[in-house]
Copies of this chain bind each other. A is one copy, B any other.
Amino acid sequence: MATDSATATPRIVIVGGGFGGVFAARALRRLRPPSDLHIELINNANYFVFQPLLPEVASGIINAQDAVTPHRILLGHNIHFRLAEVKRINVDGRTLAVLQGQRKRLVEVPWDHLVIAGGTSAALSQVPGLEEHALCMKNLGDAFALRNHVLRCFEWADITRFAAHKARALCFVVVGGGFSGVETIGELADMARRSLRYYPHVSAEELRFVLLQRGDRLLPELPAQLGAYAQQRLEKRGIEVRLNTSLTAATATYVELDDDETLPTATIVATIGSGPTPLATSLPQCERGRLVTDEYLRLRGAQNLWALGDAALIPLPAGKDSKPRYAPPTAQFAVRESKLLAHNINATLQGNTLRRFDYRPLGAMASIGAYRGVGQIFGINLTGWLAWFMWRSFYLMMLPGIVTRLRVSLDWFLDYILPRSIVQLQQSQRPAVRFAYYGAGDYVLRPGQLLDGFYLVLEGRLELRITAPDGEEFLRQVGPQEHIGDRLKHFDTVVRSEVRAQEDTRVMVINWDDLLRLRESFHDFDDYLRQAAEKQYPEHFYGKV
């Protein structure tokens, strides 16, 4: 492993390029000249994402590229930026192990103070199948993927001859009734409405938008009447809002609700479920999914480890009820935390007194699509067009970088005067090795379908039923570590068998094109599959299928 040469000036290394990380780096830079302090920010993308704009990227109002600002522009020349993925923290040795460059080399980065501002990662394992089949709304790639997925669904709905497929392609389910969920479903509904005229075989009545909320109202972060207003506006536009409803399972073809209803859908967007990043998990201070700090933003028990933003669990002064309170994971708090963090690191370096964190937010706002919004500012409730306009203005103000502000404004203006683009940029790039979940009774394959990959059962059980042309039936149970698809040798292998899940079943799938590539190149693997295929069937039956 290579080691970056140590320098005499203290090295402050910040992991994560969101509001917390970027603003902490800038605040520190303002406190100390470049010769006094080496400040370095490490992130695995070279741009800052303003998350509240993601629903508008997903709906095509804002170009993906316009919604973000390069870190190098935000940080300037006097803060070092490193595009790399942080893999491990060595606390005693005061280094980080990062992967960087073309070959993803492991490089060691030394630090004197380490700031963890890495946010959270999606955590969907609480609902079976959600991890395998839901789209997220965490980063720019997610928003971009959602937009392309929705357009793919429209293209599919326009040409399929199967009513069930069409219904599935045109039902869009968003899980979670917080800011992100409400804005996402509002934007998707707008996008659908505006795109419809290009799809002659799709009518407005066939579209279905469902918002699932576990609690008894939308936007729990805002007063109850604002949640009710948002619900009423969404419902007026034909969006189904299901309160007190949880998801119990998700598959490639439907979601299952806690009242046993199933909704056939090809689009599940999960705006719920935040968990710690693997990096946070690796530290002993990670509790309840966040890094516990003291009131100075230092990791509990540490002297030169700091955390802020969504990754951190930061205590606030106790309220009247003397219950412990913590800083909520919002951009407003992260920005405020960054200023205190910069002060406290500088104070530590200079032997001065640290300050405690406290902050009262100004308010909160949400867009609900169709030029309507809700919000509360300085305790005043706002709804309708005015709230929407203030939401836009406020977000524009929050956006760092004048060029980004200009580009986003222009995108908003162009969207107002031009038709929305239906260009579906991303091809369906399924990873070679993916995972899928089937509920008991679900079909995995039906006779006449294309064998689209190699299926390895991880948990549960599949049943394979082949009926030979002479009527003889062959039944096979496929349990954990057993597989189907061993006979896949050509892209157009059509199955004679019916494959169903006997119980709730998780499988690993290797897609057919990758499997063929593997078989062709890797002879031992090909032999293994050939032998497995021969073992599966009684000899007299094998010739029949």
Contact = CB atoms under 8 A, between A and B. Distances in A.
Interface of A: 1-2, 4-5, 44-47, 63-66, 68-70, 72-73, 77, 81-84, 87-88, 97, 99-106, 140-141, 144, 151-153, 155-156, 158-162, 165, 168-169, 198-200, 252, 266, 403, 406-407, 410, 414, 418-419, 421-425, 427-429, 431-433, 435, 448-450, 452, 456, 458, 481, 491-492, 494, 508, 514, 517-518, 521-525, 528
B70 A423 contact: yes
Nearest to A75: B198
Given A46-B423, A514-B433, A100 B524 contact: no
A72 B199 contact: yes
Contacts of A517: 433
A168 B4 CA distance: 20
List the 7 shortest-distance A-B pairs measured between CB atoms, nearest first.
Answer: A432-B432, A83-B155, A72-B198, A508-B521, A47-B423, A106-B450, A46-B424
Contacts of A47: 423-425
A414 B88 CA distance: 41
B425 A65 contact: yes
A15 B88 CA distance: 51
B198 A83 contact: no
Q: Provide the main secondary structure of the chain A interface.
A: mixed
Nearest to A522: B456
Contacts of A45: 424, 427
A156 B82 CA distance: 8
Contact of A450 (B73, B104, B141, B427): B104
A419 B432 contact: no
Contact of A68 (B105, B198, B423): B423
Most buried by B among A106, A421, A422: A421
B423 A84 contact: no
A456 B519 CA distance: 12
A102 B266 contact: yes
Nearest to A253: B102
A352 to B, nearest CB: 31
A131 B62 CA distance: 35
Contacts of A252: 102-103
A103 B252 CA distance: 9
